[in-house]
Structure 1
Amino acid sequence: MNKGPVSQFIQHHYRHFNAAALVDAAKGYETHLLEGGKMMVTLAGAMSTAELGISFAEMIRQGKVDIISCTGANLEEDIMNLVAHTHYKRVPNYRDLSPQEEWDLLEQGFNRVTDTCIPEEEAFRRIQKHIYKIWKDAEEAGERYFPHEFMYKLLLSGVMKEHYEIDPKNSWMLAAAEKNIPIIVPGWEDSTMGNIFASYCIKGDLKTSTMKSGIEYMIFLSEWYRQNSGGKGVGFFQIGGGIAGDFPICVVPMMYQDLEWTDVPFWGYFCQISDSTTSYGSYSGAVPNEKITWGKLDIHTPKFIVESDATIVAPLMFAYILGW
């Protein structure tokens, strides 16, 4: 494939240190797919609010992502950006804000993520009205679904279309819903929609059992991994640290050690983009070789780490893999 100007720039300028690691990792991702492997991408932090969908949605559409693991925040914040983008508020001088100015933002209905404020009324409440009905309808029909499946129902129903405020091609959740890509959402309860769901359960409007759990996600992932890890296997592309990466990577040692399924292959590729440094007990900052001792990666698994800001690195790597 002929590479476009962004890729050509990367190849010409990115020759050493983290820049070179970026190129090596992107080429490794390409090679893994070309040789028939599949890829999991994990999203930590607030990558959706950083508008990763502009590049990630195209990765999904072009079949370069087979399964996703993300926090509950990333699951919902891509949809929030889709339906409330023009109401977001940028605060470039966020480092200079006083406690009083932070309080003023809260009073105005803004929740700050670094330099970007999410508008509570337009983002959270706009989704809440529709998702509650989907939750309630499922419960009354005696049905149970995963958090991402409820979000897929919301998007595919079309009820949010009138509120779209960005080009829908830049929503990675919409791209994933249209392809029905499996999403693992560990710790979904730690999200705005998770908190809202809990509030309905506390009020007695909904039952906790209507939402499938994290243990059920692990069971689902074990089944998916067994079905898809033949040949070159499944690669693991980790953006950031935290539970979005920690939870799914453990499926391999869980099957190998706890279930004693000794024919389960290790992850076939590993890359992490992280600005977390190696320190005492830091898993996010641990070098990939540490994962060998936990039965997650093989000695021969291609391993890469790009120690940099994921909001800069991930779109560049996706651009390279897409040939832009």
Structure 2
Amino acid sequence: MLENFKHFNSAALVDAAKGYEDQLNQGNKMMITLAGAMSTAELGKSLAEMIRQDKVQIISCTGANLEEDIMNLVAHTFYRRVPEYRDLTPQQERELLDQGLNRVTDTCIPEEEAFRRLQKHVYDIWKTAESNGERYFPHEYMYKLLLSGVLEQYYEIDPKYSWMLAAAEKNLPIVVPGWEDSTMGNIFASYCIKGELKTSTVKSGIEYMTWLADWYTENTQKSGLGFFQIGGGIAGDFPICVVPMLYQDLERTDTPFWSYFCQISDSTTSYGSYSGAVPNEKITWGKLDADTPKFIVESDATIVAPLIFAYLLGL
């Protein structure tokens, strides 16, 4: 990588990796945000080791990424790859649905072995917490599920490649904005509609933000916190706003800006496209400072992220 990546996006990739490394060498911490279908893309093969080696201190992810890493852990052999997905007709897509195969680009997630296999176990955890008058964040319920050992009977990949299992074992802080927009979120809502669970049993996005405000304040007292964003969307938009909220809305004017910023995205800059906006735009929103190290790699995150992680892991 260092020998051959010299210009354009490849050079930006190297610069971003070195910038990430500099942050860690300076004693700063790093948040990684996961959008898209990075768990289904098996990013856990490299991200799990990043977690184990303390090269990431907090993660923000979509509800889909939270659950799909565990689905891959317990149902991997039932997944079906569809390399010719661009040529599928609407009728062929319907046939996949009828077979219980939900397609994510070229990969189909098996509903029965993935979604339903988790559902019965996570329901028990939700119900037990509610019966005890307890409330937890979405990722905390998933941690309880993984650490209980009840899923070990289903493991179909080497557990060292599950980033959620690595995170659970370290009790890594996770923020999951918009968790309701996920399969487990939909399943939880269905139990609430049926009157089997209360909506308050799972903590909300506002509670995630208030928790993050305290965590950010505490963890930037003596060091900086960098922001490594994979893709766009709420996984990145939500947590990056904690800084202007603290600085502007709470008037804590000693709040430091993010100490590093990198985004991997193939979203193009267009009118109103936040996911495609260049990092400098974030200066005007009070998220980054003028001298914050900023990088953007306009490429496929499933290619770029594993390369950067490999560099940081010395592979």
Q: Normalized against structure 1, the TM-score is what?
A: 0.97
1:301 Cα offset (Å): 0.6
Match of 2:115 in 1: 124
- Partner Cα separation in structure 1 for residue 101 and residue 162 of structure 2: 22
Deviation of 1:78 after TM superposition, in Å, equals: 0.0
Instruction: Provide the C-alpha distance between the structure 1 equivalents of 2:24 and 2:204, rounded to a whole number of angstroms.
Output: 31
Asked whether 1:260 is paired with 2:270, we answer: no
Equivalent runs, 1:229-244 vs 2, <5 Å:
229-244=220-235
2:131 maps to amino acid: E
Which of residues 238, 249, 252 is equivalent to 2:240?
A: 249
What is the aligned counterpart of 2:41 among 35, 47, 50? Answer: 50
Residue 113 of structure 2 is aligned to residue 153 of structure 1? no
Q: Quote the Cα distance in structure 2 between the aligned partners of 1:292 and 1:232.
A: 20
The amino acid of 1:62's aligned partner reads Q
TM superposition shift of 1:231: 3.6
Say whether 1:133 aligns with 2:89.
Answer: no
In 1, distance between residues paired with 2:140 and 2:125? 11
1:43-94 alpha-carbon deviations (Å, 9 max, x no partner):
0000000000000000000000000000000000000000000000000000
Q: Does 1:86 align with 2:77?
A: yes
Q: State the alpha-carbon separation in 2 of the partners of residues 71 and 63 from structure 1.
A: 21
Q: Deviations over 1:287-313 (max 9, x none)?
A: 000000000001111000000000000
Q: Unaligned regions of 5+ residues in structure 1, if any?
A: 1-9
Q: What percentage of residue pairs aligned between the two structures are identical?
A: 80
* Partner secondary structure for residue 286 of structure 1: coil
Q: Is the contact made by 1:273 and 1:313 (CA closer than 8 Å) also made in structure 2?
A: yes
**Mapping of 1:21-60 within 5 angstroms?**
21-60=12-51
Between the aligned partners of 1:287 and 1:14, the Cα distance in structure 2 is 22
AA matched with 2:276: G
Q: Distance in 2 between matches of 1:275 and 1:319?
A: 21
Aligned length: 315
CA distance in 2, matches of 1:27, 1:117: 35
Q: Match for 2:139: what amino acid?
A: H
CA contact (8 A) 1:270 1:304 kept: yes
| Partner Cα separation in structure 2 for residue 272 and residue 162 of structure 1 | 37
Where in structure 2 are there 5+ consecutive unaligned residues? none
Is it true that 1:66 corresponds to 2:27 in the alignment?
A: no
Aligned-residue Cα RMSD (Å) equals: 0.4
Amino acid at match of 1:307: E
Q: Which amino acid aligns with 1:223?
A: D
CA distance in 1, matches of 2:301, 2:223: 26
Give the SS at the match of 1:282. Answer: coil
For the Cα contact (< 8 Å) 1:32–1:232, is it kept in 2?
no
CA offset at residue 102 of structure 1? 0.2
Runs of 4+ in 1 over 3 A off after TM superposition: none
The 2-side partners of 1:17 and 1:119 are apart by 39
Q: Does 1:199 align with 2:190?
A: yes
The 8 Å contact of residues 39 and 237 in structure 1, kept in 2 or not, is answered as: yes
Paired amino acid for 1:40: M
- Name the residue aligned to 2:154: 163
Task: Give a deviation string over 1:113-159, Cα, whole Å, max 9, x none.
Answer: 00000000000000001000000000000000000000000000000
| Separation in structure 2 between the aligned mates of residue 91 and residue 294 of structure 1, nearest angstrom | 42
Q: CA deviation at 1:95?
A: 0.2
- Give matches, 1:192-231, under 5 Å: 192-231=183-222
Could you state the TM-score of these two structures normalised by the residue count of structure 2?
1.00
The one-letter amino acid paired with 1:194 is: G
